[in-house]
Chain A
């Protein structure tokens, strides 16, 4: 699974960090930190994070199998 966050849209609302703490976190400056490549087990959490983003900055793609 691949995660993309449009950092031009991100306003550090933190909803994705709340919904999927295994994927998203903040650095000391409140900038979002995440690893784009993620295991498929986290797909549901990633989808929830995408749906909870007030500015719809997150997109989630499953790997082509």
Chain B
């Protein structure tokens, strides 16, 4: 272990930060450990916030961290050369090792000149969910803007509360970019069968209401009455505080394979690592192209590698974790491994809407990059093993292994138009 490491500061006190701190202690780090968190809350688990709009029973365990907490404090500046962090109360923290885990913020409405009436929400933290829950309790109808994972989950949760729900999506299908057109259409049908009104290929062009929201107008000119609107437009990595720090900011903190933060010239800053949603790093499945992943499992896996890199800078280990995401919509379990969003080809192995099952695998240049199932999680393990084997074999970037031997072929007649056209 690095003998010079006596002061470690973790900026960002959520899942990645907590797990990185835990990994440091597990590995025997005995020095000072400070966690800085913008929210006043101790670390808590975020998935239930959107998956069921739940805010209870969320705290994450922090057994034996022996950490100093600076909660309700925001980092506002970093001098990576002098190794000094500045907080919003003017205090400075010196460090030998810094872990950046500031995550991401909800993307706001793209036009800053638009004044949004009360009743328009974004969702990222516990306080956001509490506010949204309260508003939904007094609402009859809600419009959710963006049918990605978060938007889909919020729409499903609002529908389960008995509200009239309209889900608006700019793309042709929900989650189209993440899972492809056919799987996206399948998910769209799940929403519709649950009684959600789906409006794809459209955007919101105006919010109406003076003090309080009364409705929105869509790009096709139609109006929708709504008491509440939820903007689920994606996330923006929280890197504003790193402006002028010397770190390479590129829609995230650019890191190398060992999760060391890079300078703008591409060289690593030895004392700074990062983990979780804020990271953009070259993933081997993406042929070395930098990617950013907002998945729970990614935060957990990266935290351990980032801590290891900080403790043993002379032996940096590359992070090649296999991401995995999940979503529970209208009682079905959507589970995925790898990075389906990278695929240039989707093979649908099974697709049964009434039976609520689906299996699809995703290929890029003929090579497996991901898989997704609905109520068929058992089948994911094989895909994951295949992905792991391919990564371990260290396939050179861009080189195809050919259709993997273990990969199932498409089965007719499921390959046809098994998903009925949307009305």
Q: Which residues of A contact B (CB under 8 A)?
A: 11-15, 17-18, 21, 25-28, 30, 51-52, 54, 56
Contact A26-B324, Cβ < 8 Å, known A11-B333, A12-B333: no
Contact A54-B381, Cβ < 8 Å, known A11-B328, A13-B326: no
A31 to B, closest residue via Cβ: B378
Q: Does B47 contact A (CB under 8 A)?
A: yes
Residue in contact with B377 in the complex, picked from A12, A21, A51, A52, CB distance below 8 Å: A12
Chain B contact-residue range equals 20 to 34
Is the beta-carbon distance between A26 and B384 smaller than 8 angstroms?
A: no
B23 to A, closest residue via Cβ: A51
Once bound together, how far apart are the Cα atoms of A56 and B335, in whole Å?
A: 17
A53 to B, closest residue via Cβ: B300
Residues of A within 8 A of B324 (CB): 13-15, 18
What are 13 inter-chain pairs, A to B, with CB distance below 8 A? A13-B326, A14-B324, A14-B377, A14-B380, A15-B324, A18-B324, A18-B384, A21-B385, A26-B381, A30-B333, A30-B375, A30-B378, A54-B47
Instruction: Give, as a whole number of angstroms, the nearest-CB distance from A6 to chain B.
Output: 13
Q: Does B310 contact A (CB under 8 A)?
A: no
Chain B 361-385 per-residue mask, 1 if CB under 8 angstroms from chain A, else 0: 0000000000000011110110011
Counting chain A CB atoms within 10 Å of each CB, the highest count among B45, B322, B326, B385 belongs to B326
Instruction: Report the tally of A-B residue pairs with Cβ distances under 8 A.
Output: 47
Q: Does B44 contact A (CB under 8 A)?
A: no
Residue in contact with B335 in the complex, picked from A14, A21, A27, A28, CB distance below 8 Å: A14
Is the beta-carbon distance between B326 and A54 smaller than 8 angstroms?
A: yes
Is the beta-carbon distance between B378 and A52 smaller than 8 angstroms?
A: no
Residues of A within 8 A of B380 (CB): 14, 18
B15 to A, closest residue via Cβ: A54
Is the beta-carbon distance between A51 and B300 smaller than 8 angstroms?
A: yes
Pairs A-B, 3 closest by C-beta atoms:
A26-B378, A14-B377, A30-B377
Once bound together, how far apart are the Cα atoms of A13 and B51, in whole Å?
A: 14
Contact A28-B378, Cβ < 8 Å, known A13-B326, A13-B335, A54-B47: yes
Q: Does B337 contact A (CB under 8 A)?
A: yes
Residues of A within 8 A of B335 (CB): 12-14
Residues of B within 8 A of A28 (CB): 378
Is the beta-carbon distance between B300 and A18 smaller than 8 angstroms?
A: no
Residues of B within 8 A of A56 (CB): 61
Instruction: Give, as a whole number of angstroms, the nearest-CB distance from B25 to chain A.
Output: 13
Once bound together, how far apart are the Cα atoms of A58 and B381, in whole Å?
A: 19
Instruction: Give, as a whole number of angstroms, the nearest-CB distance from B51 to chain A.
Output: 10
Chain B 287-313 per-residue mask, 1 if CB under 8 angstroms from chain A, else 0: 000000000110010000000000000
Residues of B within 8 A of A27 (CB): 378
Contact A14-B47, Cβ < 8 Å, known A30-B375, A30-B376: no
Residue in contact with A54 in the complex, picked from B296, B322, B333, B375, CB distance below 8 Å: B296
A21 to B, closest residue via Cβ: B381
Residues of A within 8 A of B375 (CB): 30
B19 to A, closest residue via Cβ: A51
- Which residues of B, 139-177, contact A by the 8 Å Cβ criterion? none
Residues of A within 8 A of B381 (CB): 14, 17-18, 21, 25-26
Once bound together, how far apart are the Cα atoms of A52 and B384, in whole Å?
A: 15
B335 to A, closest residue via Cβ: A14
Is the beta-carbon distance between B378 and A15 smaller than 8 angstroms?
A: no
Contact A18-B333, Cβ < 8 Å, known A26-B378, A51-B300: no
In addition to A14-B380, A30-B378, 10 A-B residue pairs with Cβ atoms within 8 Å of each other are A11-B326, A14-B377, A14-B381, A15-B297, A15-B324, A17-B381, A26-B378, A30-B333, A30-B377, A52-B297
Residues of A within 8 A of B328 (CB): 11
Instruction: Give, as a whole number of angstroms, the nearest-CB distance from A46 to chain B.
Output: 15
Instruction: Give, as a whole number of angstroms, the nearest-CB distance from A32 to chain B.
Output: 10
Once bound together, how far apart are the Cα atoms of A47 and B384, in whole Å?
A: 20
Contact A18-B337, Cβ < 8 Å, known A12-B377, A54-B47: yes
B333 to A, closest residue via Cβ: A12
Instruction: Give, as a whole number of angstroms, the nearest-CB distance from A44 to chain B.
Output: 12
Once bound together, how far apart are the Cα atoms of A17 and B383, in whole Å?
A: 12
- Which residues of B, 328-360, contact A by the 8 Å Cβ criterion? 328, 333, 335, 337
Residues of B within 8 A of A25 (CB): 378, 381
B45 to A, closest residue via Cβ: A54
Residues of B within 8 A of A18 (CB): 322, 324, 337, 380-381, 384
